[in-house]
Homo-oligomer: A and B are copies of this chain.
Amino acid sequence: MYAKILGLGAVTLLLSARYLHWLFRRWRSRVPLKEVLFFPTSVTCVEHLLLRHLLSATSSLDLCVFAFSNQELSRTVLLLRSRGVAVRILTDKNYMIMSGSQIGALRRAGTCVRHDLEAVHMHHKFAVVDGRLLITGSLNWTVTAIQSNRENILVTEEPDLVRPFIREFEQLWEANDPSRYRSSLS
């Protein structure tokens, strides 16, 4: 009888251990991506890591960036559009007309672009890929920023960090709707 009791106890413990192991593996597989990239770096092609994250987009790219003059990143945005990814760009109204800005070319290619309507700077530098992945930091989308300056970007899928940036983008996108601007002038 005691052998049976011990056997059953052992089986129960074994099952509990296997359940704990399964729970742990499930938790590990759900740990969201967290990555930090610094520019410039001795690691070759850190910008390619940035491009890889952008090119992972399958449905949407929401970009909120103060300055955008990097041609490679501009080509990446156009490539995503050609793949059917919905791209929205929010930018600063003063910097979008600076020499070398890619905003005009992106607009002419049909990309949805809005700019802030305020006297102050729209100084954000973040992107949200597929409503899932946040890319944010000090880095403007310029050649100097990527190739020369000391800069950082943080890439994360942590929902507690991604969600506030999605809300901020939606709120700024609505607030800077040109139809509102026109009606406020009338």
Q: Does A125 contact B (CB under 8 A)?
A: yes
Nearest B residue to A159 via CB reads B34
**What is the count of identical protomers in the complex?**
2
By secondary structure, the A interface counts as: mixed
CA distance A3 to B128 in the complex (A): 58
Q: How many Å lie between the Cα of A19 and that of B8 in the bound state?
A: 19
Tell whether A168 pairs with B152 under 8 Å between CB atoms, given A137-B136, A138-B138. yes
Interface presence of A178 (CB below 8 A): no
Stretch at the interface among A51-59, A71-79, A95-103, A142-150: A142-150
Residues in A129-170 with C-beta less than 8 Å from chain B: 136-139, 144-145, 148-152, 154, 156, 158, 160-161, 164-165, 168
Bound: A63/B62 CA distance, A? 30
Given A12-B9, A158-B34, does the pair A124, B148 have CB atoms closer than 8 Å?
A: no
Task: Confirm or deny: A121 has a beta carbon within 8 angstroms of a beta carbon on chain B.
Answer: yes
